[in-house]
């Protein structure tokens, strides 16, 4: 079974690659969430190897962990999404008069 540190490194690499340009915003909450996920994966793996869980139980537990991870990241990303929305709105406001004037109607309100 890989160590929590090894799993964490892999999780962070995958998260960083997927987040791409949003990585700086996602980094802070990804670190804690990925560490928690890595720790839980080690514990469930060790319990399986020790015979404390069946394959079906481990599979179900992994799905539960995965869904918790998704929920945690989704909640955190709402903050990033809110920031993105504010940036887009501010950018549109900055060009609103020029665009609306050029078009002759209020496209951007």
pLDDT digits (tens, 9 = 90+) for 14-69: 888 887 877 887 788 788 888 988 998 889 888 989 999 988 898 888 889 888 88
- Interatomic CA distance for residues 75 and 89, integer angstroms: 21
pTM: 0.68
Q: What is the mean pLDDT of residues 63-79?
A: 81
Domain boundaries defined on the chain: 4-80
pLDDT of residue 62: 86
pLDDT of residue 88: 66
pLDDT tens by residue, 84-100: 677 668 878 888 888 88
Judge whether 45 and 7 are in contact, CB under 8 Å.
no
């Amino acid at each position: 079974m890989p160590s929590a540190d090894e799993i964490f490194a892999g999780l962070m690499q995958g998260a960083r690659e997927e987040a791409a340009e949003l990585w700086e915003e996602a980094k802070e909450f990804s670190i804690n969430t990925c560490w928690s996920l890595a720790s839980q994966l080690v514990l469930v793996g060790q319990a399986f190897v020790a015979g404390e869980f069946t394959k079906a139980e481990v599979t179900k537990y992994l799905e539960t962990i995965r869904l918790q991870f998704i929920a945690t990241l989704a909640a955190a990303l709402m903050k990033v999404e809110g920031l993105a929305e504010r940036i887009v709105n501010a950018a549109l406001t900055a060009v609103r008069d020029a665009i609306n004037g050029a078009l002759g109607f209020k496209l951007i309100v």
